[in-house]
Amino acid sequence: MNDRACDGCMARSWLLGRLAGHLEKARARIEQVLALGDDDLIEAIGGRETVHLEREFETVDVDEVRGRARAAGLDTVCACNPAYPPGLRALAAPPAVLYVAGGLERLRDLLGGEPVAIVGARKASPYGLDVARSLGRGLAVAGVTVVSGMAHGIDSAAHAGALDAGMPTVAVLPGPADRPYPAGQRGLHRRIVAGGGAASEIAPGTKVWRWMFPARNRIIAALSSMTVVVEAGERSGSLVTARLAREIRRPVGAVPGRVTTPQAAGSNALLARGDASMVRGPQDVLDHLFGAGERLAPEPGREPPSELRPLLNAIAEGYETAAGALARAGFEPDKGLAALAALELDGFVRRVAGGRFHVVP
């Protein structure tokens, strides 16, 4: 294993794990609390255990902490080392130690260009999932590393898009990097680590607490050259990532969503306030990062047969029920249902709940 963490930073990492439960009460101000020095952190958070924690911290066995990382198959790098991802230094409270699954050198290579974070709602709409997957795929094929948090919904769809294209992606986890979170994402975690990487500031063996999610979001923002919000409700954690990105002067983009969709209320608000640039597809992101036309997104895939194009256009225009789309496109019911089936089988549309259809980006 690649160990590039000094004793002082490993001790700080141990302290973070030891105080994990105490830090839950400081969740609303976790960024400020994590910026405290070791002694101040113990005093601010330790409560009745403060004296005991101070004694423990003085005698912490950093070799044991390193041993747990090795046993979990994780590389380590601390803020004192030149191999530390430079983007993290923009944070007011950069992680003392970054634990990496998949290899530190590989992670450095993947983050060496202009990585892009794609984040959004866990309970995403079919439209949001399709857009996230398409963005992940298009950016990855264009040579841009996709960074996200591996949560259900938009995050997982973005990772999956990159993986579908046969390209690596990077996951930043709220808990230890060697264990998928949520636990049901084992397969996705395995695929990500096989060719890309997973990273976390949390030492292996530590329980996941709620404060770790906003803390994780600051790492996603800092590792990325741009953050794109695909869908986000009014209180979405993705808006925290967007705010943190703006605070460290990283550009933010947002995908416009339907004004009647709750999942898009937060992302639409970013656009309305001018806090994010509009992202309609991978090319908008590439133009923002590299300049207009300097790097091109992959060409769209095959076109549907010309006789099916009116039906596909009708679905894209919002006539999502089978009857509405068929009537708009001028299809008779019997031939129209066969045409819908053909579009679905060829991957141009996706059937969702209520007999509705969405165009796949």
Residue 112's domain is classified under what CATH number? 3.40.50.450
- Residue 290 inside a domain? The answer is no
52 with 157, same domain? Answer: yes
* Residues with Cβ within 8 Å of residue 222, at least 6 apart in sequence: 85, 87, 88, 90, 91, 94, 244, 248, 250
As a whole number of angstroms, the distance between CA 30 and CA 35 comes to: 9
- Residue 264 inside a domain? The answer is no
3-state DSSP helix/strand/coil % of the chain, to nearest 5: 50, 10, 35
Q: Which of 201, 222, 243 is the last residue of a domain?
A: 222
What is the arithmetic mean of pLDDT over 167-190? 97
- Residue 301 inside a domain? The answer is no
- Residue 259 inside a domain? The answer is no
Q: Which of 172, 207, 222 is the last residue of a domain?
A: 222
Burial of 24-60, coded b for 16+ CB within 10 Å and e otherwise, reads: eebeeebbebbeeeeeebbebbbeeeeeebeeebeeb
DSSP 46: -
- Residue 32 inside a domain? The answer is yes
pLDDT tens-place string over residues 225-236: 999 999 999 999
Supply 145's token pair: 């590393």
Average pLDDT, the chain: 92
Q: Which of 191, 222, 253 is the last residue of a domain?
A: 222
Structural domain including 314 reads: 306-359
pLDDT tens-place string over residues 255-264: 999 899 899 9
Lowest-confidence region among 59-73, 239-253, 267-281, 309-323? 309-323
| pLDDT at res. 214 | 97
- Residue 72 inside a domain? The answer is yes
Q: Which pTM was predicted?
A: 0.87
- Residue 268 inside a domain? The answer is no
| pLDDT at res. 348 | 74
What is the arithmetic mean of pLDDT over 273-285? 97
Asked if the model's pLDDT at residue 199 lies above 60, the reply is: yes
Q: How many residues does the chain have?
A: 361
Specify whether the CB–CB gap between 53 and 19 falls below 8 A: yes
| pLDDT at res. 318 | 64
| pLDDT at res. 186 | 97
| pLDDT at res. 354 | 66
